[in-house]
Structure 1
């Protein structure tokens, strides 16, 4: 397919997402299945246009004075792919698969408008009601933080030290331009690329089948390390999901001690079995019923709660969710987090640690949630996670955001990772 066909395909997908209010991944999958003639490069290019358009949906629409799928897709060409309107017109000339030309008014708006004149939420490409929450969390740096969430993310991997060393993984993926991550001790990074370029399918590599690495954002690796798990400890991963952090903890503990991986959602938990086998872990028990945890109540050295959240920290990877987020969604997540924290706290032994994690950048889900938990549970106290950061990552020359001097917030702008929050709560005694 030429650029015209790819651009037309992206416009179709964007229209499908808008009209049917469906996840971007589902819309792209259906488009690909109905276009068997489209090769892998074509599908990747269409996907890149769609994701780029959604990441900067507000600013694209403001500059074009047009929020239609066609205007958004063309704005991607002009702003992110560095193809001028004149160059694009020449490229599409005579291409029978190209979309209809944009209205003259949209092109005129793009030529005359300056983003500096746009409202703050448009500059930041976030819902207007979220601006005050970002200001509360990041102060004067909120706009920089918001804009970083609208850029393409890298592909991050975690070396499984039970099977390989990081240099070995980097060498195995040299054709994908893999490099050691800046912060995560076992992280490997593949740059995001530009324009139509596609990320490699690393899960098709022999080194992946051998269990040398897992796909895991660098921020997720960092918060797993901040749990400070040690060999021989008994640990509960209370919201284990697919097991990414469970696997990281098992490697940190050198397969010694015991990890209990629990999630009430069996569908989310299901992939963990194959991942554990491939990684060579031997110290993990998997549970899908909480009654099976009765024997470890009050006995765990550390309990990790990767709580359900709005996912605002993952907006680079899931930009469609940015535009579906509502105040009601936030309130529901805050309520769920409170319940999960109360339930998980029962398993922490006196002197043990409750590690609270979200992939959110909203203070209600993070600092405020931790403070409210402590206020209602006098036998827990907030201890500094920054000490762990300094001991583990102090040499990286990067500092996370911390509004209280104890908790840690990772973000694309501050740490070049997805957005994560980490708080360490210690049970007294």
Structure 2
């Protein structure tokens, strides 16, 4: 069954073993997507969408001081808030395509955060109660949450942990078990999606493109490899799997404006993939999923000046990451082990050790320190000790220079008592 809205010339041809029509659920392929008013016309006297022609009623200024809005909101109020937003946002997609070095906007999908992309991929590819996804724990928790919501099974192939995770001063290092993933695929052909987090959360580990390519070329896997790159800008140049999109129709790369762009509040997620998969996602999404204020901020964030500013801040955060790693490793030799993972994101993961110098990670102590930092010291980090391979671990986001110094100072205080 053809993909509605996709030009025949855009049907994927590589890799040869991949047929996207066999990946997408039949009910999605046959779906007649909702056609919204702005799909047809977006200029003129617009009387087609039952909008409020009088405009919004939010006062810009008022005699009542409680109703007076900050000047920062004036630009938002001047947007066409009484009109439904664009269903496509092609200017944003074009800037993303140029930034990531892919051919054009037809390779880009926008979602309400990456979580909408995750949910949509499961809904269009994986039959509830029958088919499955594969994850590689420790990894981002929303994959399994979305799977449960969609009644989708989960096959887990844990990352391989090498090193001692704080024992004897060695660092725990994570790597992808591609051979075990292939074995899982051979044993269970119902697996439709493989979710790889790179750099990983909570591991901070970058998955080599060679490993991703190996799975894309594995002929027994007929599904799609999803590479979640929320932290990719912290991993250096040439690390992104976006470079594989024009070669492989069975890869989908997820990115976001939440991390390196510092726009977590606007909830803009990105999928980069072959136009065939992008068209399927467009056919399935809600008609106006990206709001006008979000789109306005995203377009501004993707301007050349804003991208240059983002990259300068990125370097500051990377320098802060290295400073934190150095401080924590030298100041607390008996309390903290060597950082776990690859340190390719905007956070670090360190194991809290047992008191007494055994060198073994201590999850109970780590949880006490986590609670004490948050409730008594005003510093909130994340306890990750229950994740596979992360015994005793705390995840610390890289902050400003002052925040990083405060973290170190507060660790000094809590380790005297715990």
Q: Same fold judged by TM-score > 0.5?
A: no
TM-score, L = length of structure 2: 0.28
More helix by share: 1
